[in-house]
Amino acid sequence: MRILITGVAGFLGSHLADALLAEGNSIIGVDNLCTGSLANLRHLEHESRFEFREVDICKPFDPGAVDYVFNFASPASPVDYHRLGVETLDVGSNGTRNALEVAKKYSAKFLHASTSECYGDPSVHPQTEDYWGNVNPVGPRSVYDEAKRFSEALTTAYNRYYNVDTRLVRIFNTYGPRLQKNDGRVISNFVVQALKGEDLTVYGEGNQTRSFCYVADEIAGILGLSRSDEHTPVNIGNPHEWTILECAKAVLKVTGSKSKVIYQPLPQDDPMQRKPDISKAQRLFGWEPKIDLETGLKLSLEYFQSTIDQEAAKA
């Protein structure tokens, strides 16, 4: 297949490219590099089945005939989407529409990277796909949450009205190598702080929960969904739930760091709990994650250490 990946220079987009290349496909990857980095694609420099184009998908674009579109372009960490608020709304509306137009033009299949953030601060726990969510439409996270919810509505409309063969994956917190070390997400912050011997910054009392999925598991789930015929949203995430304080302690254990935990204010509208119900993915395509948090953290340490070393060498 010839496959389009938008957001290919990002954390998940670059891992997806690796997995699809390993299966023998050709990839045309586009990215405007607003949060991603060409360093994530450097290992593909001499790969003849991989082509990169610097493209802002908010403007119409034509990559040529493709069989599948994976739409992953969007700022994703709270720090990034707060900095790029209007751009995030733009890519989740005009960007998604332009990617859907490519799929429509070439009769390609389409998979959109949605998010657990569609559930907002959920009152149903664990989150099942039929829960409609609890989102503040004007709060600081709304630029991301509402863009993602609009993308889901638009993707569904292209399926309903234009018969585009679409899929929606609701991705829960995912981590691993190539996560930007300074994007403010909890795993990158804690691991970098622990490795540098700095205090670990827990927001609030650290009793809010998240469920962390290692990137290889997440990509396997996304590929499973891409081959299914399911058009409604499917959760892909690790159902093991951690408080943020437990997560900090796990990072200290795995790194052997002597860093202390310090407490900082909880950001506004920070969801109190998050845990995917993955029974739909299990039933539809037999997927479940295999890698627990401590193992996944160990697999990520070398990457984070090397980014710290590179920064130190530049200074």
Task: List active site positions.
Answer: 144
Is 210 a binding residue for ligand UDP by CB under 6 A? The answer is: yes
Q: Of 33-41, 49-57, 178-186, 218-226, which part binds ligand UDP (CB under 6 A)?
A: 178-186
Q: Which helix (H) or strand (E) is 21 found in, with range? A: helix 11-22
What is the C-alpha to C-alpha distance for residues 236 and 247, in angstroms, rounded to an integer? 20
Is 203 a binding residue for ligand UDP by CB under 6 A? The answer is: yes
Contacts for 112 with CB less than 8 Å, ≥ 6 apart:
71, 96, 99, 151, 152, 155, 166, 167, 168, 169
Pairing of strands 209-211, 241-243: antiparallel
Degrees, nearest 5: CA angle 208-212-89 = 80
Is 263 a binding residue for ligand UDP by CB under 6 A? The answer is: no
Q: According to CB under 6 A, which one of 159, 173, 255, 257 is a site residue for ligand UDP?
A: 173
Which of ligand UDP, ligand NAD, none does residue 36 bind (CB under 5 to 8 Å by kind)?
ligand NAD
Residue span 229-258 as binding mask against ligand UDP, x where in contact by CB under 6 A, dash where not? ---------------x--------------
Is 126 a binding residue for ligand UDP by CB under 6 A? The answer is: no
Of 69-88, binders to ligand UDP (CB under 6 A) are 77-78
**Which of 296, 141, 148 lies closest to 218 in space, CA to CA?**
296
Is 270 a binding residue for ligand UDP by CB under 6 A? The answer is: yes
Which of ligand NAD, ligand UDP, none does residue 120 bind (CB under 5 to 8 Å by kind)?
none
Peptide bond into 126 cis (omega under 30): yes
The alpha carbons of the chain give a radius of gyration, in whole angstroms, of 19
Output 52 or 106, the one with its CB closest to ligand NAD. 52
Which of ligand UDP, ligand NAD, none does residue 208 bind (CB under 5 to 8 Å by kind)?
ligand UDP
What is the C-alpha to C-alpha distance for residues 52 and 30, in angstroms, rounded to an integer? 6
Token code pair at residue 137: 């439409």
Which of ligand NAD, ligand UDP, none does residue 75 bind (CB under 5 to 8 Å by kind)?
ligand NAD
Shortest separation between residue 6's beta carbon and ligand NAD, angstroms: 6
**Which of 273, 269, 304, 266 lies closest to 187 in space, CA to CA?**
304
Q: Residue 161: how many CB atoms within 10 A of its CB?
A: 8
What is the C-alpha to C-alpha distance for residues 215 and 9, in angstroms, rounded to an integer? 15
Q: Of 40-48, 199-207, 254-262, 287-295, which part binds ligand UDP (CB under 6 A)?
A: 199-207
Output 10 or 63, the one with its CB closest to ligand UDP. 10
Q: Of 82-90, 131-139, 145-153, 179-187, which part binds ligand UDP (CB under 6 A)?
A: 179-187
